[in-house]
């Protein structure tokens, strides 16, 4: 298990399960040999090390190196879409319903679906765009639209995050290499990765 998240709870779970893990490393490549997968890693504390396992699970996102290793043409033959998600402190939902998820198709916001929904005390805005679109500017346009049309009142930005996805047909891997989540091409409307990773897993 190559742990990249620096999460104490993750470490605790791994130790309880008796799973070995390697920190501060980067996935390089892999090859399947007989009934094993050879995985090459390197990093700050590790110089060109090879690990062996029964299965390799690629849950490494929409720009998956594992999927590129399985199908090099996939990375060359597909456009990338940037997904930008912003969480704003929610002061007033206006005429939007707390329990609904709203999807907009207006090109002024993004090149793919724009999704807005409440998450606890926040309103999450998710915008997707092809190369060249200023996603941060698009968020400002969307905020103005929500205020004008739905009387939504937002506070300050709590956090933002982004990722790159390659919208293609789902592919779950082959032989001893499995793909999950965005790496497998399994996506939700708003490009959120953890949910489809769990579902496809």
CA distance 75 to 180: 16
> Closest by alpha carbon to 139, among 118, 160, 117?
160
What was the pLDDT predicted at 152? Answer: 97
Q: What is the pLDDT of residues 48-96, one digit of tens each?
A: 899 999 999 998 887 889 999 998 887 776 677 888 999 999 999 999 9
Answer for the pair 155, 143: CB distance below 8 angstroms, yes or no: no
- Confidence category of residue 3, pLDDT binned at 50, 70, 90: very low
Q: What is the pLDDT of residues 133-176, one digit of tens each?
A: 999 999 999 999 999 999 999 999 999 988 877 777 788 999 89
CA distance 32 to 175: 8
pTM of the predicted model as reported, rounded to 2 decimal places: 0.64
């Amino acid at each position: 298990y190559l742990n990249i998240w620096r999460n104490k709870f993750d470490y605790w779970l791994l130790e309880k399960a008796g799973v070995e893990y390697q920190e501060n490393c980067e996935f390089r490549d892999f090859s399947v040999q007989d009934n094993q997968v050879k995985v090459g890693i390197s990093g700050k504390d590790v110089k060109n090390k090879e690990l062996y396992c029964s299965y390799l699970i690629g849950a490494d996102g929409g720009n998956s190196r594992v999927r590129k290793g399985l199908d090099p043409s996939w990375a060359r033959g597909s456009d990338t879409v940037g997904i930008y998600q912003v969480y704003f402190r929610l002061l007033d939902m206006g005429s939007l319903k707390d329990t609904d998820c709203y999807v907009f198709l207006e090109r002024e916001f993004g090149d793919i679906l724009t999704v807005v929904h409440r998450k606890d005390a926040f309103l999450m805005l998710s915008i997707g765009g092809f190369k060249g679109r200023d996603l941060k500017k698009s968020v400002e346009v969307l905020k103005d639209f929500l205020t004008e049309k739905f009387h939504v009142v937002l506070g300050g930005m709590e956090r933002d995050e982004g990722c790159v996805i390659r919208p293609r047909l789902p592919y779950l891997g082959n032989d001893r290499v499995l793909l999950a989540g965005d790496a497998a091409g399994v996506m939700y409307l708003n490009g959120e990765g953890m949910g489809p990773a769990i579902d496809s897993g």
